[in-house]
Amino acid sequence: MSRQLSLRTIGTRCVVFAIELAVFGILLASSAQAQTNWIISVDATGSGRKPTYHVAPTIGGCPFQLHQDPQNLHVCPGDKVQWQVISTKKKSELYIDQVDTIFDQSGASPKGFHASDDQPTDSAQIKSNSSLVGGHEYSVSAVDKDTNRLYVDDPKIIIGRGPTDILEDIQKLCGQLASSFKDEAKAKEAKKTCEDAEQKLNKLLHEK
């Protein structure tokens, strides 16, 4: 009897531990999912043919990054991105062309963005579409009109999965975990633990 109780306790603790990991993951995703406005600076002052980049903020994204690489920027669905040239005398032209249609702009899906004289482009909002998860190249063309130098590059924006997608995964995995118990009592207890956790996570996810 004590052995059965011990096994039941161990099994329940496994479920709780899995849920704790899920909570940690969804909290990270939720914090990242608070819409981020990314500003990518395109430095068109160097001697090479490609520009160099800076990004602000330097942390965040989906999955969460402690140090963002602006040439491979990790973003969440719904995030916004702007680009701004750094030129020698604030005389520049900047063209951003998307290969895949991953941006929304005022309800439309434009192919590109343009700005002059070191001004920022309009905000480009990342579409909330799970089919777009993954890396997407886009084209950068920057001209320093004072030096007549052209800079071109094809960096990436990498769209991660938002917390809603992660919650769906948690629900599937937690259900599989609960059904893996051969002992009916443990399976029932694990299922109840999962359902309680899913309700709390869903409430947490939708809190303002």
**pLDDT tops 60 at residue 4:** no
Between CA 81 and CA 65 the distance in angstroms is 16
- Contact partners, residue 109, CB within 8 Å, separation at least 6: 101, 103, 127
What is the pTM (predicted TM-score) of this model?
Answer: 0.69
For the chain, give every domain's residue range: 2-29+163-206, 36-159
Burial code (b: 16+ CB inside 10 Å, e: under 16) for 28-49 equals: ebbebbeebebbbbbebbeeee
Look at 189 and 69; give whichever has higher pLDDT: 69
Residue 5: which pLDDT band, with cuts at 50, 70 and 90?
very low
pLDDT digits (tens, 9 = 90+) for 114-123: 999 999 999 9
The superfamily (CATH) of domain 36-159 is: Cupredoxins -  blue copper proteins (2.60.40.420)
Look at 40 and 103; give whichever has higher pLDDT: 40
**pLDDT tops 60 at residue 32:** no
Between CA 41 and CA 29 the distance in angstroms is 25
